[in-house]
Amino acid sequence: MSLYVDSTALIALGEIQQLHLLSKISALVVITPTIKIEVKRSALQIKSAISAGWMKVETPDLLEVQSIQSLTRLDAGETELIEVASRISGRNAHILIDEGSAFTYVAKVGMPNLICLAQALYVLESAGHLKSCKRTMDYLVNNGHYRWAKTVRSHYETWCVSQGVTPV
């Protein structure tokens, strides 16, 4: 399985030197060239992840990217990620994306396997790879490394209810 990850989560985890946590998820982490550039402050962590084999850069079909962008107001990184995910894994793609408009678009086109950073951190906590999802999210938010999108927060809270856990 592959997990297609947008820059927001990578930037947040990179800022706190915890990007390696994504290697603990049982999936190949896939990013695009634009996302790699957007995460420039964590370039060494990205390079290390690629060298270790748990992250891969996949080049999008630029004509398809242009087609998606003509229908949406998504930025290049989000659009590239959506194109790559849908081309390689189809509607069953697992996508970690945290921007509200991108999250809404992906759900609208029928790709149901969406997760946000808080969900990924909760899974990592449950597996014993992270001490506290809540503490980590609070730190990211309070120190300006992460900003909740209203759509994503709502999705996360609904997911928490379905799992019987208390939202962060």
Domain at 23, CATH number? 3.40.50.1010
CA-based diameter of the chain, in Å?
43
Q: How many CB atoms lie within 10 A of CB 49?
A: 20
Residue 168 placed within a domain: no
Position 153 scores a pLDDT of 83
Beta-carbon count within 10 A of 54 CB = 17
**For residue 160, what are the contacts with CB-CB under 8 A and spacing of at least 6?**
166, 167
Q: Whole-angstrom Cα distance, residue 29 to residue 37?
A: 16
For residue 152, tell me if it sits in a domain.
no
Q: Is residue 30 part of a domain?
A: yes
- What pLDDT shows up at residue 95? 95
- Give the residue ranges of the chain where pLDDT is below 50: none
* Bridge partner list, 166: none
pLDDT, residue 79, reads: 95
Range of the domain at 107: 2-116
Is 138 a domain residue?
no
In a domain, residue 9? The reply is: yes
pLDDT of the residue at 148: 80
pTM: 0.92
pLDDT of residue 103: 85
The 3-class secondary structure across 18-73, one letter per residue, is CHHHHHHCCCEEEECHHHHHHCHHHHHHHHHHHHHCCEEECCCCHHHHHHHHHHCC
Residue 155 lies in a domain: no
Work out how many domains the chain is built from and give that number: 1
Q: Cβ(32)–Cβ(81) under 8 Å?
A: yes
* Token pair for 84: 């790559």
Task: Compute the CA torsion angle 119, 141, 102, 6 (nearest 10 deg).
Answer: -70
Question: In this predicted structure, what is the pLDDT of residue 59?
Answer: 97
Q: Is residue 148 situated within a structural domain?
A: no
pLDDT reported for residue 145: 84
